[in-house]
Each structure stands twice: as C-alpha cells, then as structure tokens.
C-alpha cells in the first residue's frame, strides 16, 4: 500500500521531518511511503496513496502562504475523498502556533472528504493529540533530532491505521 507525506519547507526543517515520518511508515510491513515537496509531488503515487500526511512550517501562527495556496489549488487533484489524512508542523517556539497549523490542514482535509486521524490518546504514550510539532529555528538539525522518535512513531501509527482500514 502506498502512503505519501507532502510538505512545504523553505529552510529544510519540515522536509527533514517529512522524511522521518515516511521512515516510520515504512517500518510497517507492506507499506511503501514517499515524501514530496509541494513543488514536486508525484501525482500518480500520491493519487494511489491511501493515506496522505501534510506538513508545514508555522508562519505567523498560521500555515505558510505556499502551503495554503497548494491546498487550495493542487491538493484536490489527488483523489482525496475517503483517503486517510494527517498533519504535522514545525515551529520555532513551543507556543508559536504549530497546532493552529495542524488544525488548518485537518480542516482542509475534512472539507475535502478525507478521514482524519492522529491516534490521539488511543495509542498510549507518547500521546499525539492533533499531530506532531517539531520545535526548531531554521536549519537547527540538532534541535530537530530531539523529535525524531516522536515523528517516526507518528508515521508508524498512521501506517498501521491505513493498513487496518484498507488492507
Ligand atoms: C516568515 C516566518 C514566520 C514565522 N513565524 C513563526 C511563528 O509564528 N511561530 C513560530 O513558532 N515560528 C515561526 N517561524 C519559524 C518557522 O516556523 C520554523 O523555523 C520552521 O521550522 C521552518 O520550517 P522550514 O525549515 O521547513 O522552512 C517563522 C519563520 C518565518 C520564516
């Protein structure tokens, strides 16, 4: 089963965490996962994906304009109704608005007929409520690494749910 992670990233943080989520997805047997920048989405692969996770940096406590525009103009071409959807964010500050970014993406997915999921408290600790947020300034790989296990686990949980729903 194919799964896609699609992201907007300017200084590399969100791109890096998208790859970590894809790694977690691939740890589940039978899952083929790829991560794409919004500028280079493989529309065939994403269209065939049963689950799409979207990620974005936090800009002024909101999605970046680039991601917002992509969701409005391009995302709807990926055959979204009935797919499993999830969202993640990166931000520089713990109260900088990362969860608002996730909520905006999930709202968009719901509006497009996707089935949104995060695992929430149902998968035990660490609890991931709306989706994971990694906190780091631009290009601060050391800070991002502290979130790798959480993001890998999130990818694994999304893939396990996709397998349960669609296999
Ligand atoms: C224009 C701009 C606005 C930003 N606004 C916020 C913000 O409101 N809250 C926050 O926590 N971080 C903010 N940041 C920091 C980025 O969200 C953060 O460093 C992110 O990980 C960068 O992602 P990227 O490397 O994938 O581009 C802002 C960065 C930029 C460039």
Q: What is the pTM of this model?
A: 0.98
Band of pLDDT at residue 122, cut at 50, 70 and 90: very high
What mean pLDDT value characterizes the chain?
98
Q: Whose CA is nearest to atom 4 of ligand 1?
A: 59
DSSP state of 126: S
Band of pLDDT at residue 67, cut at 50, 70 and 90: very high
122: CA distance to ligand 1 center in Å? 30
Name the residue among 76, 31, 45, 55 with its Cα closest to residue 151: 55
For 50, the 3-state DSSP assignment is coil
Q: Whose CA is nearest to atom 16 of ligand 1?
A: 91
Structure tokens at 4: 């896609």
Average pLDDT (118-133) is 97
CATH classification of the domain holding 81: 3.40.50.360
Share of the chain above pLDDT 70, in %: 100
Please count the residues of the chain: 167
Average pLDDT (65-74) is 98
Say how many domains are in the chain. Answer: 1
**Index of the ligand 1 atom closest to the CA of residue 90:** 21
Query: Tell me: the pLDDT tens digits for 77-92?
Result: 999 999 999 999 999 9
Average pLDDT (119-130) is 96
Beta strands in 31-148 (DSSP E): 32-37, 51-57, 84-91, 115-116, 133-135
Band of pLDDT at residue 10, cut at 50, 70 and 90: very high
Query: Tell me: the pLDDT tens digits for 46-57?
Result: 999 999 999 999
Band of pLDDT at residue 20, cut at 50, 70 and 90: very high
Q: With beta carbons less than 8 A apart as the criterion, state whether 7 and 18 touch.
A: yes
> What was the pLDDT predicted at 118?
98
**Index of the ligand 1 atom closest to the CA of residue 93:** 11
Average pLDDT (25-42) is 98
| Domain coverage including residue 37 | 2-166
């Amino acid at each position: 089963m194919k799964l896609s992670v699609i992201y907007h990233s300017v200084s590399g943080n969100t791109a890096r965490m998208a790859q970590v989520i894809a790694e977690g997805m691939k740890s589940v047997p039978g899952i083929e996962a790829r991560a794409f920048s919004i500028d280079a989405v493989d529309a065939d692969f994403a269209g065939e994906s049963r689950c799409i996770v979207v990620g974005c940096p936090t800009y002024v406590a909101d999605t970046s304009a680039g991601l917002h525009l992509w969701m409005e103009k391009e995302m709807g071409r990926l055959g979204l109704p009935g797919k499993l959807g999830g969202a993640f964010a990166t931000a520089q500050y713990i109260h900088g608005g990362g969860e608002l970014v996730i909520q905006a993406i999930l709202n968009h997915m719901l509006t497009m007929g996707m089935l949104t999921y995060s695992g929430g408290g149902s998968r035990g600790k660490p609890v991931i409520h709306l989706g994971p947020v990694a906190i780091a300034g631009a290009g601060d790989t050391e800070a991002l690494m502290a979130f790798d296990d959480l993001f890998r686990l999130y990818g694994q949980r999304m893939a396990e749910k996709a397998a349960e729903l669609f296999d």
